[in-house]
Amino acid sequence: MLYSMTGFGAALLEGDLGIFSVEVRTVNNRFLDYSFRLPQGLAKMETSLREFIAGKVRRGRVDLAIRWAQKEGTLPSLTINLPILEKLYHNLQSVRKHLRIRENLRLGDLLKISGLYVETPAAIDEEKLLNEVKKGVKKALADLQRSREKEGRRLSDVLMKLIDELDGERREIEGRKGEVLEKFRQRLLKKIEEFNQTTPVPIEPARLEAEVLLFADRSDISEELARLQSHTATFRQLLTTDSEEPAGRPLEFLSQELLREVNTLGSKSHDTDLANCVLAMKNTLEKIREQLQNVE
């Protein structure tokens, strides 16, 4: 079964320590990469969450966003640093008198000054907090996996149609092999007949057969066609095998091997019709390569 590298999952989980809203989005990437947006109280969990996600997602860029609505008892306590506030007040009063400012200082203005507050984190069981976060992430990942599986089925259908097209083009080339050889023989025979009409020393018919055999040897594509057939069969097998292992990289490798064989066919194609078939195969392989960029 194929899984797409593109997907989205979300989950909402309420626990003893608050409400956790989790969103996870994945896009195609050559390797496994991460981008986290975590609230300050969860930032230290990034390494643990990386390890947790790595067991569920094998390839792609993972964007994880978590929002945490903390319950009472988990919120940090805020206190005002009174000595600093008093010192600021007296300093500002001195400035007011020195500049002869009539406006009185207001408490609200003083409380807007940064650095006045002392934040004391609440005593939270870190292991319990991590477990609750992981539960939310696990639910979001399950939702993500359903999304990637659905898109993977669509990709599998597209790739199966493309590999069928490629196999059809291979069969067309296979059916034209004998026709190409006979065309060459007829062209060569015509040239020999034309030459024999203008020279007292005619070319023997045996020379014709020798040239045809030499051409047949140089342009023989039987091995390339056999390997193409084998590779397309393996490609189909990977598309239909129900395995937990990602199929993206093996399929990419096979597409490279398919292109290698098609290029060899092109170098041996001395016929316009065969050359057009090879171009069609290259076009199909390019479409396959584009689709494989989204397969995990």
Kindly state the tokens that stand for 95. Answer: 């400035």
Q: What would the 3-class secondary structure string for the chain be?
A: CCCECCEEEEEEEEECCEEEEEEEEEECCCCEEEEEECCHHHHHHHHHHHHHHHCCCCCEEEEEEEEEEECCCCCCEEEECHHHHHHHHHHHHHHHHHCCCCCCCCHHHHHCCCCCEEEECCCCCHHHHHHHHHHHHHHHHHHHHHHHHHHHHHHHHHHHHHHHHHHHHHHHHHHHHHHHHHHHHHHHHHHHHHHHCCCCCCCCHHHHHHHHHHHHHHCCCHHHHHHHHHHHHHHHHHHHCCCCCCCHHHHHHHHHHHHHHHHHHHHHCCCHHHHHHHHHHHHHHHHHHHHHCCEC
* pLDDT per position as a tens digit, 214-234: 555 555 677 788 999 999 999
Instruction: Tell me the C-alpha distance between 287 and 258, whole Å.
Output: 13
The torsion angle over the Cα atoms of residues 157, 162, 164 and 167, rounded to 10 degrees, is: -160
272 has a pLDDT exceeding 80: no
Kindly state the tokens that stand for 174. Answer: 């296979």
pLDDT at 204: 63
Question: Token match 């990437």: residue?
Answer: 29
pLDDT band at 199; cut points 50, 70, 90:
low
Closest among 33, 23, 31, 28 to 64, alpha carbons compared: 23
Kindly state the tokens that stand for 185. Answer: 């023989």
Total residues belonging to the chain: 296
> Beta-carbon neighbour count of residue 291 at 10 Å?
17
- The pTM assigned to this predicted structure is 0.70
Kindly state the tokens that stand for 4. Answer: 């797409």
* pLDDT per position as a tens digit, 240-271: 888 777 889 999 999 999 999 999 887 776 67
Closest among 209, 42, 206, 203 to 134, alpha carbons compared: 42
Structural domains in the chain? 7-73+126-148 (3.30.230), 77-120 (no CATH), 154-292 (1.20.140)
Kindly state the tokens that stand for 107. Answer: 């408490």
pLDDT at 155: 95
* pLDDT per position as a tens digit, 41-93: 889 999 999 999 998 898 899 999 999 988 776 666 677 888 888 888 888 88
Note whether 154 and 177 are within 8 A (CB). Answer: no
95 has a pLDDT exceeding 80: yes
Average pLDDT over residues 96-122: 77
284-290: long-range pairs with CB below 8 Å, 24+:
284/162, 284/165, 284/166, 284/169, 285/166, 285/255, 285/258, 285/259, 287/162, 288/159, 288/162, 288/163, 288/166, 288/255, 288/258, 289/252, 289/255
